[in-house]
Structure formats: C-alpha cells, structure tokens
Structure 1
Amino acid sequence: MMMVKKTLKMNRKTRLLQGHPFFLSTIKTTPVLGLLCPFPRSCPVFSRLFLCVYFQKRSLFTIHSVFSTLGRLSHKDSDWTSVEDITHRYHLNVTVDSVNETIAAERAKIAEAANSSEPVIVGVLFVCSDNSQLTKSSGTSGNAYRITVPPPPSPPSSTPEAHLFISPAARVGEGNHSFVYRAEWDLPRSVFSKPDICLKCVEAAALEILQTKAGKMAVRSVNPDVDSSHLANEGGKFLRRETLVPSLTMELTKGYLGGPKVEPTAENTIGITVEDDTELSYVEYTGSLSTVHVDRVPWYDPASTAPCPCHHLMQNSLSGPIPGPTPPTARVSVVAKLSHRGDDHLDREAVNYQRFGENFSQHWTGYTLAYPLHNPTPVHAITPIFYGYYSKERTISDVDANSGDSDDQYFSPILLLEDCGTPIEPTHLDFDDRQECAALLLRMHYHGWTQGSFFPRNILMQLGDHADFPLMKSPNDRRFRLIDFGRAKNREDAVEADRLRGDGKHSAWDGWDSERFDEKNEIWKVLNFPHPI
C-alpha cells in the first residue's frame, strides 16, 4: 500500500547503567514520542473511583454550614462569621451500573490483598566481582538475587465518615441551574497515602543475609566502594552490551469524525516513523536468580501517628518531619455544586460524570491531533476529577420541612469536583491556548459525547497542575478544562434509541450528529478564531 512517509529523529545522550553492587527497585523509561502514558506526580492525587470505593452508600458524610438548610446560601443580613456550624448528614449516590460493578471489583481486590500473605518483589540485587572488567568482549562473574519482603498493610475498604465545610462567602459562581462554592474537605490521611518501605534498609538487610550465608558474620557497609566480591560466585556473568533504540512506525488514517470506520487506502493513510539514533549501553546478566526474603524492615504508613522507623524515608520528604504527632486527617480544597429547587440539571450532570471514561479526567504525556485542527495539542484532562454526588439523609423533620415551597426549606444534593480555576476570557489567550480549548470539545466528540453548552464561562483555566506547590505554578503553564455537562449527550444513547424504535431509520443518530456538527461550528465564534475550523 502506497502512503505518505514522514521521518522524525531524536537524539539523546548515551546512558550507562553503573554501580557496584547494583540495586534496581524499579525500571524507569523515557516515554517515546507518539506513545501516551500518565504523567508522574510528586504527591498523591485522587483517582476517579476514590470516593466510590472508600465511601459506602450508607456512610456518613457530614456537611458543615452556617445555615440550617442547603438551598440557596446567601449572606442575608446577619453576621455569618459569628454563627455556629450547623451539620447535615449526606450519603453517596452511585446511579450507573458499570460504576457499581467497578466498585465491587475494586473492593474484591482490596479484600483479596488483605487475605494474601504472598511476598512482594521490591527489586533485584546485582553483585559482581569486578566492575572494571565490564567490557563488550569480556565480562565479570557475579550473581543476581531477587529481593522479597512481606506484603504491605492492606488499604481500608471504606471510610465511615468525612467532613465538608461550605461557607456562603466562598461562592465562586452562579448559573441558571446551580450555585458553585469553593469548599474545604476534611478526609482521613489514609486516603492520600500508601505504605512505603525503605529500599536502602532492604538492600542493607539483604546483603547482611547474604554475608551471613557466606560465613561473613560481620555486618558490612553497602557503600559501592566496599568490596563485596565474596558474595559473587561463578554462577553468573555480567557483560556490557550496546544497542540502538528501535524505530517506531505509526499509520494514521484520515476519516470522518464520528462517522463509520474508514478503511485505509493509499490516499487517506499517512505513515510516520520515529527514529532514535541514540546508542544505549546496558549490562546483561546471564545466570541463576536466587531469592532473598527480608522480613526485618517494616512498612511505614505516612498516615500513621507512629514515628517514622527509618531516617532515609524522612530525608526523602520535601518538607521534613512534621513537628509533633501526625494529624489523623488532612483538609483539601474542592468545588461543591448545589442545585436550584426542582431543577434536575445537576442530577443529569452527575450521571454523565459517572459515564465518562477514566481518560476524561486523566493527564497524559505527549500530544494529539484533534481533527480538524492542523496543529497538535497537549493531551491534558478534558474534565475536572469527579469526587461523587451526595444526597441528604432524610428524617421525619426534613420531610415535613420540605412540604413547603420556600427555597429556605430545600436541601440540595451536592456534586463535588476538582477545583480547576476560573472561566477564560478568549481575547486574553494566545492562538495556541485557544486551540487547546477547542481540542477539549473535539476530543469529547471523538469519544462520542456532545457538551451541550460550549461557552467561555464553561471553560476553566488554572496555572499549573493542581498537585503543584503554589509557588511553583508558572503563568506560562496554563491548563484548561470543560465543565457543565447537564446537557451533554452520548452517541450510544442515540444508537440505542434507533434500535429500540425498530423502524430502520437513524433519526436519533442524525439528531446527535447534527448537534455535534453545530457545536463544532460554534468553536471559531466562541474562541475568537479568524475563520471557521
């Protein structure tokens, strides 16, 4: 098949694995251009199923406010700062079957991990007799040891209670269907952290075990300058090898977005080859792989109030040790969205957030080409992270109070989302930023969704990632998200509606595609492009 070919070349410095002895706990690779992988993060970030897994449906969720109801919060005429907090009990609502199934699967994994006593592999220890003899032609003798430790403590299967603090002074927006507040969320620290183990201590303990087995009872240092050749036997051999990074070939087929699958032809296919002429040097080991089990190094839970058992882990902390006991909870900032009385817009939006794929709220490396844009745009998240949809637990007094017609007697459900900044002003953005905003909507179309309300007020901008330290956020690192999905429609719903009608027509599909087409044609007006895209 004939196709257009393009070749890209990459150059990087030659990398060499060195060390004596070697201890490789994890293998880190540099992403290749064209491949997508999640961005590494320096601090824990909520996963999409965070609340669904840890908050059972009947778990208590305490809302703290200065007013007795959660309808339209207003300043009124009183000094709300002098009013005591009034609490309300809310619980999580999960309305999509696929999410419930995923929750059950995740909880089953947690239960299985809690009952498992299988050792965990944390790394491989390489010990060679003479590192200076590692050449292409000759090598040196040595051995490799698989290092295992007991399994880490299992995470909690649920969190019985959390606290959300909402203040009427923290309102950040108001629309035709809802009010938006910046709220403070108080959660157990176990939600944010995972058990950790000191690999340096594990390495030292493994060498001590090997020295004991070899008849060397004295504990030696694990410094690379210290001779450990007595641990290397003739069972294995190390050789230095060199190789070139293999090329990556991709074929891109032009097609109609949202339409039927297009078969590749010579006219609509573009071939792209990414070549990397970097020469990589690495150490090849041939021989047996023995197992050394280390059970004397404890796991450490950063959420625990117990002191850290290892000074290495404390040295890795960016902020250093916390003075005094570790607080059992941590407070984070989120956005709480409340609805008007009798308005089901927020209910539909919550369902749509649950139906979105996980990649909607994930950050990825690399770039993508969102047709019909001609320039690549970053593959950042499309939507804010969804933290759950909550309803008030009803009591007899609540039912009596809600029998009236006043908004002051209305308890709104609460939609919790990631705080993604403020609405954009298109005239203040450069062309690249506006293309990135357009790509958010086009990527939604690609995944079979229309947004239903594409306006500048529904595109948010923040500086840097929400996991970045505030002082490290740069005005040159702008991130964008789409919000407000109460009117969003899914292509699969239209297909199912046509199937159930059974008349062989595609009126629902045509209606969805017409809405997608009209929405795409509004991009250039909303984002102030010089011409339609």
Structure 2
Amino acid sequence: MSTTVDQDMNFETASPKDSKSTEDTSPPMFNFPKEPPRTFTAADLIAILAIHNGGFGKNPDKKHNLPTQEEASSDDALAMLSGNSTHKRIILRIWPRSPTGKSITPDNTLMGKQTPNGIELWGATTLDFYHVQRFPDEPRLSTITTGSKLLRWMKANNELEYAQNEIEWAEHEENPKIIDPHGPHAFVEAQEAKIRAGEAGKSMPLAEQGSDKGKSRSSIFDPSNYSSPWPLIPFSYETECLQTLIPLHHLPEKITVHDPWNLLAVTSWNRYGGAMTDDKQADWTSTTDRTHIYKLQPSPAAKTHLLERRLKGMDFPEMSVAPAENAKEKTGGLLGYLIKPTGDVLGPIPPPIFVVHDPPPRRLIDVIRPGDPEPSKAEGLGNGPIEEAHLYISPAHSIGKGNHSVVYEAEWELPRSALFPPPPNDPVLCEKCVEADIKRILTETDGENGEKMEARWREKSAKLSKVFKVERPARSFSIIRQEDLEDGVTKSEDGDARVFLADPGKMGCRLEFDGPVRPIRTTVGWQDPLHPTCQHIMPPPPVPPTAKVRVVAKLSIRGDEQLEQEATNYQDFDRHLFEHWSGLNVMPPMHDPFPVGALVPQFYGYYVPEEEEDVEMGEGDDPASAYERGYLSPILLMEECGRPVHVSDLGIDEKNEVRSLIHRFHHADWTHGSIYARNILAQHGPLNVPPAERVYEKEKRVLSFRLIDFGRSSKYSGKSEASGRNWDSCRLSETIAIEKLLGLGMYSYD
C-alpha cells in the first residue's frame, strides 16, 4: 500500500542565478554596481520610485543617482512614497528586442491574457507590463504592452534569445481570476453569538410579536419561528454590507417594506401624510409600524430573459456523492483511513495503523433510483428566486439627498438559506473517539507496554519518505541603465546589471508511504452532526431562520423617471461591470496601470408597490384605491459603496484609478451623463477581507472606487452616422469633465 500527504513549503534560499549576458539583460532602466543576486526589497522599490518621481531629499543630483538602501529607508523616502503626487503604479520594464527581429504590427499581433471587459492589455502585476520597440530599427519608438502578448508573439516568431528572463517571467504569470468580495457570513455569525450572549440587539416587544401560538408558520418570518431572543428590533445592532453579486433571477420577487415614518412618500403626500424625514434619533418602537408589499419589476429586456429561463427550466443542484464513496483510504476491500506516523522519522518504519470502520449510513436522499422524481429545490441563491424578503427604512439612516431622490441605508432581511449554505448533515466519525478506541484495543491486544505485540508489527517493513516538487519556480529580473542600451542590448561587455530575486518560489513537500499496514477495526459508530452523541462534536447553536444585511435604498419624487431608467440601465450592464478581477489594465488615453475592480454597485432589484392593498391595514380600515393611498416611491436596492470622493485627498494613482472608471465605462459602450464628485464613491479596501481588517491609514490605504447615478446614462447603439457623432462628442465631453474634476491631463498643474 502507498499513500501521499501534501505539505506546502517555501524556499528558504533560491538557487543562485548568474547575471545575464548582454543579449538577455532585463528590464533596462537603472545602473547598479555589480553584485550577486539578492532578494528585491521594499527599499529597492522605494529607490526606483524615487528616481521615477524626480528623487527626494536636498541633493539636486538625486534625480540621476539611485539612492542607497539607507537613503531609501529614510524619512524623506517614506514621505515621498506616501505623497499624493508620487506615481507608484508605473511601468518599469522594457522588453529587449533582437536588432534583426520582425516588426510587431496590428496585422501580426497576438492577443494576451484578458478579463471579460475586453480591454486588450492586462497584467497580473505592474511588472507584467512592458515598453517594447515594435520596430527594432527605431529605438526611440516604443509601445506599452504586456508580457502575455509578447510571450505568444516571440514564440510564434522564434525571437527567444534576447529576453530570456522576461519570457520565463511571462510563462509563470498568473491568469486573471475573479476576486470575490468578503461575504457577510462570518460577521452575521459573530453578531448572532453576541446576540445570544446579550451583548448586541434588542428583542422585539411581545406585543409586536403577537401572542397567537396557533398562527400559521407558512412564512419563515413569522415571529413564532424564532427562538429567543429573536426577533430583534430593526437597527438595534450592527449589520454587514452585502457585496455579493446576485443574478436577477435569484432576487426576491416580493418584499415587505417596513416604513413607520412614511418615508416612501418622499416629498409628496399619501394617506398617512408626508414623510417624517427629520427624526434623526428615530426609535423604531416609538411609532406604529406600517408595511407595504412591493414586487420586483424587471426591465422589458430582463423580463424576456427571465421568461426564457422559466421556459427552459432551472438546473437542479447536483446530488452530493454518498459519503461511502468519499472514503479517505481503501485497502484490501476495507474502508478506513491511515493514522499518520508521528514525528519526523523517515526511512524504514513498522507498519502504521490503518483504522477500519463501517461505511456511513446512507440517507434516503442519497439513494435515487432510475425513474424517481428529482429532489425539490431548496430556497436560496443557488436554486431559484427568493420567495420573501423584508426591508426596513428609517430617517435616522439617511445618507444622501438630491434634486430628485433620497437615499437610505436600509436593513434587508433574507431567508438564512439565501445567504448561508445548509449546515452539513452527512454522518461524521469522531476521530478523537476513534483514537481512544484504538488505544484501548492496542492495550488489550499488545499489553500495556507492548509485551504481547506480534513480531510482524515490530519489524520495520514499511517505508516513509519525503518527496519534494517545485510548484512555482523562483523568478528574478535584472536592471541596467537605459543609456547603456543600443538596439535592445547593452553596449558594455558585462551588462553591469544587478539581478533581483523577486519571487523565491514555492516548493511542495509530501510524505510518501509504501508498505504493509496494521488494520484495526474500531467499534466507534457514525454520528449525526446535528445531534451528536459524544462530547467532542458540538451541535450547531440555534439560529434564526432569517439574517439581516445592509443595502442602499434609493427613492424618488413623484413624476421622476430617472430612477426607473437607472434601474433599466443596471439590468442592461454587462456582468463584468459588477465583477472584481485580479490584476491591472492599461488602456488609451492612459499610460499607467489601474486595478480591474467592479465599476458599478451591485444591483439588488427595482421594486414597485403592488396595485392592490399594498398597505397592511389595521382593524376597521377600509381598502383604499391607488389614488386614495397616495404616492409611494419605487425602490432601487443597491450595494453600499462608501462615500463621495474628496478630490483634494486623493493621490495621483487614486486619481488615475478614478479616471479609468470613465474610460472603462466608455469602452463598455456607455456614457455616464453626470460627471461630478458626488457620483464617484470611495470605500476602504481591499474588499475581499473583512471590514475590520481593511487598511484605513492614508499612507497604506487601498481605496475601492465606484461610479453611481446612472439615470442619465445611455448606451451607444451605433445605428447611424449621427449617433456616432453624438457618441464621440459625449465621450470627449466626459473625458474633459473627469480630467478637469481630477486635475489631470490638460488640467494638470504639476
């Protein structure tokens, strides 16, 4: 029998890498004294950025001389690095060309790695972008491109000798991948623990919950379905911002809106009077709750898409494989697992113990015979629309007001199954109980000190070895002065280059076992994880059937058409505008890389009042017509993406990233229609980590930017010459507007 155990291991030191010859030196930028390869440090990067940004300190020659390690670690260097005018996202590398190489033209260029946004230049890091001479005999003419594009072109045209380091680097560049924002699960569970401990939240008064124990439980939102201390008063504890992309066909078809302060009237009137928007200290229990039933209203195009999905039928989730098929080890027809030898002993060892256990009991749902009906779909994001949700709005959580609209932070309560996967209920085998059982069996069989152990179990007839495998090779690059270049190679004999180890690489290590094992059958049985029978497995704590997250609810005044148009535009946006991708892009007219995060907030639906009896009436109230009910605003639900930017607080790289939003929007065939600072939001990131772990210090912060307010946005149709001229005019106008707002381009005064 043989088996392997994977382990991760980092190289402590990389193999020495000699300085390259004059034909493969990369990337040519600066001159260093010759020395052996060493790890590229933060001080090295600061030094290079200092040169690029005009130096630092009082020495006027700093612009032309590379700072020492000590100078690069000085206060002047750190001040330069954190300065608003310092470019840090820059293209440092040049791809050497053969003097006799072919010209790279639009006709023979090859595509590199891309994200779905279709922007041609994508790189995993700033070190994956290059300046390259498309025409080797024109050294003063260079173009920005990427390593993945050049790698394909060089291989196709057999130009492999002049950029060996760059080719090796490009071959190991990571592919683009979606970076999922941090989900609300961990925060919700942490808050639930605090609520159970009495440290957060306030229970809803019993009068509000109702005392009819016989009330139907058909709705999971019914108070009788909650264990104490739930249900809770809205806004009585902190909720997490929902950032997950939810496809339109998974959004709730109906929501119950709780509006005690009549905020849905906005600036108009309805049967309850005007909106009470001035109560910033609003207490939810101080007034009577009013509920309205709203329905999801897709745009005409989205409605057609939803109808097509319903006609085709939704895919059922794949059945999980029965646990018996997922056994850790099989040997001689026995089901079980190997107890790994302890310690670091390698070489010959006695046969290790192989725990033999019975197969887990099969649940009825695991046994599906041909002809049996498919299992019913559970409610949740993965299996069709959410049937019911509740929304809570309060004047105490107003976050914005415009000429036509008001915006609130709202609590959105969803079925727990919509946010969380169902708890695992596959049978489990407690390894601690098994360990104690095996120890008991060994004592009975071999004696207290092993005096009765059979000789075959003492003999070192098995072998344990450690096998190493390079999972990611070390990567290095060299740097020389650009003046030493001629036709893509260095003029000096040795290149006078400094080689940096940028990535020490990664080595995988696994333990490999070969030989006989000692099988021992355990008497420990399988357990239901939801109702365990031993002290080692804890059942999950009681949880409410619903969970709350934070979203933005945008309302509009009577007669306003922009909110509906904005909702329609959200449904027309390509999916990639909502997605966060790894790496960076470069696109004209910009020359510096920028991140490829989501461009717009996540869209969580456009809801309108139901036509009949949308207000829950009290005893004795009469049904009212739509006219008598008065105005109730439609609701646009979106992701909360921070606060409007303060341009004066932004660094040059942050300004370039904001500028890229407009160019990316144009590239997706959209114009915005309202370029103002109030329509550009910023929040602290990175968004794939919990808010508590994000960076808030200005010197180290990572901001995430988003465009908002798409009521005036329009998509380019390209159906006529006139529309093309108008499209060009709108794009130019918005390009000028964003440059003027940010002080870039022709409005730069640096």
**One of 662, 665, 684 as aligned partner of 1:441:** 662
1:484 is paired with a residue whose SS is coil
Q: Residues of 1 paired with 2:634 and 2:537: CA distance?
A: 46
CA positional deviation for 1:164: 1.0
| Residue equivalent to 1:515 | 730
**1:48 and 1:358 in contact (8 A); partners too:** no
**2:406 and 2:555 in contact (8 A); partners too:** yes
TM-score by length of 1: 0.65
CA positional deviation for 1:423: 0.8
Q: Residues of 2 paired with 1:308 and 1:103: CA distance?
A: 45
| Residue equivalent to 1:340 | 557
Unaligned runs of 5+ in 1: 12-30, 220-228, 249-273, 288-294, 301-305, 315-320, 499-504
Matched, 1:457 2:711: no
Matched, 1:52 2:253: no
CA positional deviation for 1:193: 0.9
Unaligned runs of 5+ in 2: 1-101, 105-131, 133-149, 151-162, 186-241, 268-273, 330-336, 367-374, 446-455, 476-500, 515-524, 616-622
Tell me which amino acid in the other structure corresponds to 2:288.
E
Structure 1 residues 9 and 506: CA distance shift in structure 2, 3 A:
same
**1:140 and 1:238 in contact (8 A); partners too:** no
2:590 is paired with a residue whose SS is coil
TM-score by length of 2: 0.48
Matched, 1:411 2:632: yes
CA positional deviation for 1:393: 0.7
Matched, 1:382 2:599: yes
Q: Which has the larger radius of gyration?
A: 2
Describe the superposition over 1:180-208 as per-residue Cα deviations: whole angstroms up to 9, x where unpaired.
Answer: 11112222222221135499956949x99
**One of 389, 398, 401 as aligned partner of 1:162:** 389
| Residue equivalent to 2:646 | 425
Q: Residues of 2 paired with 1:122 and 1:471: CA distance?
A: 37
**2:686 and 2:704 in contact (8 A); partners too:** yes
Tell me which amino acid in the other structure corresponds to 1:391.
V
Describe the superposition over 1:147-178 as per-residue Cα deviations: whole angstroms up to 9, x where unpaired.
Answer: 99978996414433221111223221122332
| Residue equivalent to 1:363 | 580
**One of 474, 482, 488 as aligned partner of 2:713:** 488
Describe the superposition over 1:71-120 as per-residue Cα deviations: whole angstroms up to 9, x where unpaired.
Answer: 336437899653211111111122214752686499722x354xx46447
Tell me which amino acid in the other structure corresponds to 1:83.
T
**1:91 and 1:391 in contact (8 A); partners too:** yes
Matched, 1:67 2:284: no
Structure 1 residues 85 and 409: CA distance shift in structure 2, 3 A:
same
CA positional deviation for 1:277: 6.8
Q: Residues of 1 paired with 2:295 and 2:443: CA distance?
A: 59
Tell me which amino acid in the other structure corresponds to 2:410.
A
CA positional deviation for 1:237: 11
CA positional deviation for 1:242: 2.9
Q: Residues of 1 paired with 2:327 and 2:733: CA distance?
A: 55
Q: Residues of 1 paired with 2:462 and 2:677: CA distance?
A: 67
Q: Residues of 1 paired with 2:349 and 2:103: CA distance?
A: 47
1:432 is paired with a residue whose SS is helix
**One of 544, 548, 570 as aligned partner of 1:331:** 548
Identity %: 29
| Residue equivalent to 1:37 | 178
Q: Residues of 1 paired with 2:676 and 2:736: CA distance?
A: 13
Q: Residues of 1 paired with 2:528 and 2:708: CA distance?
A: 44
Tell me which amino acid in the other structure corresponds to 1:331.
K
Q: Residues of 2 paired with 1:459 and 1:480: CA distance?
A: 7
Farther-moved stretch of structure 1 (388-397 vs 466-475): 466-475
1:108-257, aligned counterparts within 5 Å? 108-109=314-315, 111-113=316-318, 116=319, 118-119=321-322, 155-156=378-379, 157=383, 158-197=385-424, 204=431, 240-243=467-470, 245=472
Matched, 1:393 2:588: no
1:366 is paired with a residue whose SS is strand
Structure 1 residues 104 and 192: CA distance shift in structure 2, 3 A:
same
Q: Residues of 2 paired with 1:531 and 1:308: CA distance?
A: 73
Q: Residues of 1 paired with 2:444 and 2:721: CA distance?
A: 80
Q: Residues of 2 paired with 1:164 and 1:8: CA distance?
A: 54
**2:695 and 2:702 in contact (8 A); partners too:** yes
Structure 1 residues 351 and 218: CA distance shift in structure 2, 3 A:
farther
| Residue equivalent to 2:124 | none
Q: Residues of 2 paired with 1:107 and 1:91: CA distance?
A: 22
Q: Residues of 1 paired with 2:508 and 2:466: CA distance?
A: 10
1:337 is paired with a residue whose SS is strand
Describe the superposition over 1:230-288 as per-residue Cα deviations: whole angstroms up to 9, x where unpaired.
Answer: 9xxx999988253463799xxxxxxxxxxxxxxxxxxxxxxxxx99673634549899x
| Residue equivalent to 1:86 | 290
2:591 is paired with a residue whose SS is coil
Q: Residues of 2 paired with 1:415 and 1:422: CA distance?
A: 18
**1:36 and 1:364 in contact (8 A); partners too:** yes
Q: Residues of 2 paired with 1:419 and 1:353: CA distance?
A: 15
Tell me which amino acid in the other structure corresponds to 1:514.
S
CA positional deviation for 1:418: 0.9
Equivalenced residue count is 436
Q: Residues of 1 paired with 2:471 and 2:416: CA distance?
A: 45
Tell me which amino acid in the other structure corresponds to 1:168.
P
Q: Residues of 2 paired with 1:107 and 1:307: CA distance?
A: 38
Q: Residues of 2 paired with 1:123 and 1:441: CA distance?
A: 53
CA positional deviation for 1:33: 4.4
CA positional deviation for 1:341: 0.9
**One of 515, 525, 529 as aligned partner of 2:740:** 525
Q: Residues of 2 paired with 1:442 and 1:77: CA distance?
A: 39
Structure 1 residues 531 and 132: CA distance shift in structure 2, 3 A:
same
Tell me which amino acid in the other structure corresponds to 2:648.
T
**1:391 and 1:414 in contact (8 A); partners too:** yes
Farther-moved stretch of structure 1 (32-41 vs 453-462): 32-41
Q: Residues of 2 paired with 1:218 and 1:103: CA distance?
A: 64
Say what the alpha-carbon RMSD is for the aligned residues: 5.2
Tell me which amino acid in the other structure corresponds to 1:487.
R
